[in-house]
Amino acid sequence: MSPGSQHTSWSIVFRIAWRNLWRNHRRSLIMLSAIALGLWGMIWMTALMRGMVDQMIDSSIKTLSGHIQIHAPGYLDDPSIEYLMPPLDESPALQSLLGTDDVVAWSQRIRVPAVIRSERDVIAVTLVGIDPEKEKGLSFIGDSVTEGDYLTSVDDNKLLVGKKLLERLETRLNRRVVLMSQDPENNIAERGFRIGGMFDTDLEATETGYVFAGLETVRKMLKMGPGVSEISLLSHDYRQLDPLLEKTRSAAPAADVKSWIEQDPYMGSMLAVMDGFVLVWFTVIFLALSFGLVNTLLMAVFERTREIGLVQALGMKSTNILYMVLIESIIMLLMGLAAGNILSWLTILPLKDGIDVSSVAAGMEFAGMSSTLLPAVKMYDVVLANLLVLVLGIAASLFPAWRASRKVPIEAITRVWQ
C-alpha cells in the first residue's frame, strides 16, 4: 500500500467510539437521559399545543363557520335579513361545485338577529334556520342535542335551545317561547315555538348565542323569499383550502367567499403565536441539551489526550479522530432519541382519550378550549424534533471533535510523568 492511501477504517473508528461511550457509564447515562427527556419535552409540548390549537380550530369551524363560508356582499358587516344570497338553482356553477369530491359537507342557512322571550326573561340571540340533515357532520348542532329531539326536517316547527340559555330563560324542554325578529319589510316578525331539544356544547357562548329552527319554518316566520343568508361547506383539510377557495370564488363571483381563517383572524393569529411558542420551546430545550453535550464531549476528549496522541503518533489521520468523537456523539444522540421516542409514546398513548383539564378550562372557554385536552401527536412534529436534536447535536459536537483532532504535544506519550 502506498503512502497517502490511508482509508477511513470505519470498523476501528466505530469500535473505539462505542467503547469510549461506555467508559464513563454515569456520564453517558446522564447525557442519554437528558437527550431522551429533552425530546420527550419537545414532543409533549407540541402535542399539547397542537391538541389545543386543533380543538380551538375544530370548535371554531364546527360552531358554524365551516371551512368556507359564502355570503351576500355586505352580510358580514351587517348580518341582517337585508343581505340575502339568491337561491342555489340560480347559480348552477356553485351548485355543481358543491357536488364535487372537494366538498365533504355543505348546507344553507338563514341567520338573523332575534330576541327570545320566556315567561321570565328576554335575551338577544341569533336565530338560525337550518336543514337538519345537512348540518350533521358539518356543524356542532348535528350531534349536540342531549335532551329532547333533534329537528327532523326543514319544516320542523320546534326550536333547539342551548343548555345555558334554558337556565337563563328559566324555562324547560317542551315549554313555549316567543321569538322576535325583523322581516325584509322592516316589520316585526314574531312566532311562538315549542322547545323541542336542548343542545350542550363546551362553549357557553355557543349555548347562549344561538337557537335553531327548520329553514322553511324560519322563512315563513320572516315572510321572506327564496334566498338564504349563508352557505357553509366543509372540505378535507383546514390547512389546505386555497384551491377550493379559488374555485368557489369563480363559481360564485358575486358572493363574498371567505375561509374560516379569514373569517376568524383571531384564530389565525393564535395559530401563528402557537407556532412561535413551539419554536421558542424547542430552542430552549435544545440550548440546554447542546450545552450538556458539548461539555460532556469536551470532558471526554480532555481525559483522553494521551491516547489521542498515541493514535496520532501511530499514524491515524486527524479526520479519523474527528469521526471517532463525532460517531460517539451520534451513537449517544441516536440512543437518547430512541429512548425519548419510546418514552413519549408510552406516556402519550394512555392519554389518547384526552386529559381532563376541566379545572382550568373554565377560564379558557373563550378561546374555544373544551374541558378535555387531546394531545395531538403529528408525525411532522415528531420527525422535526428528532431531526433537530440529531442535526444540531452533531453540529454542536463538531467543536469537541475538532479539538480532539488537533495535534497533541508528543510529550503526552513519550515522557514519563512524575
Partner 1 sequence: MTIEITNAVKCRGVSKVFSQGELAVHALTDIDLDIAAGEFVCLSGSSGSGKTTLLNMIGGLDVATTGEITVAGKRLDKMPMSELADLRLQHIGFVFQAYNLIPVLSARENVEFVMQLQGIEADQRRVNAMEILQQVGLTGMEDRRPAELSGGQQQRVAVARAIVSKPALILADEPTANLDSENSDKLMTLMRELNSQIGTTFIISTHDEGVMAFAKRLIRLHDGRIVSDEAI
In the complex, what is the shortest distance from the CB of residue 25 to partner 1, in angstroms, rounded to a whole number? Answer: 13
Binding residues (CB under 8 A) for partner 1: these are 1-7, 9, 11-12, 15-16, 19-20, 23, 306-307, 309-318, 320, 407, 410, 412-417
Nearer to partner 1, 265 or 417 (CB): 417
Nearer to partner 1, 5 or 100 (CB): 5
DSSP lists the bridge partners of residue 213 as: 129
CA dihedral 266, 270, 272, 275 (to 10 degrees): -170
In the complex, what is the shortest distance from the CB of residue 413 to partner 1, in angstroms, rounded to a whole number? Answer: 4
Query: Is the Cα torsion angle 61, 147, 155, 96 positive or negative in sign?
Result: positive
In the complex, what is the shortest distance from the CB of residue 238 to partner 1, in angstroms, rounded to a whole number? Answer: 55
Nearer to partner 1, 13 or 56 (CB): 13
In the complex, what is the shortest distance from the CB of residue 387 to partner 1, in angstroms, rounded to a whole number? Answer: 30
Nearer to partner 1, 177 or 321 (CB): 321
Joined together, the cell numbers standing for residue 325 give 468523537
The neighbour count for residue 202, using CB atoms within 10 Å, is 18
Instruction: Please provide residue 156's backbone torsions phi and psi, each rounded to the nearest 5 degrees.
Output: -55, 130
Which amino acid, one-letter code, is at 104? V
Nearer to partner 1, 20 or 232 (CB): 20
Contacts with 135 (C-beta within 8 Å, 6 or more apart), sequence order: 107, 141, 142
Joined together, the cell numbers standing for residue 390 give 440529531
Nearer to partner 1, 265 or 315 (CB): 315
- Mapping DSSP onto H, E and C, the string for 305-363 reads HHHHHHHHHHCCCHHHHHHHHHHHHHHHHHHHHHHHHHHHHHHHHHHCCCEECHHHHHH
In the complex, what is the shortest distance from the CB of residue 377 to partner 1, in angstroms, rounded to a whole number? Answer: 39
In the complex, what is the shortest distance from the CB of residue 352 to partner 1, in angstroms, rounded to a whole number? Answer: 44
In the complex, what is the shortest distance from the CB of residue 368 to partner 1, in angstroms, rounded to a whole number? Answer: 57
Nearer to partner 1, 12 or 342 (CB): 12
Distance CA 61, CA 140 (A): 9
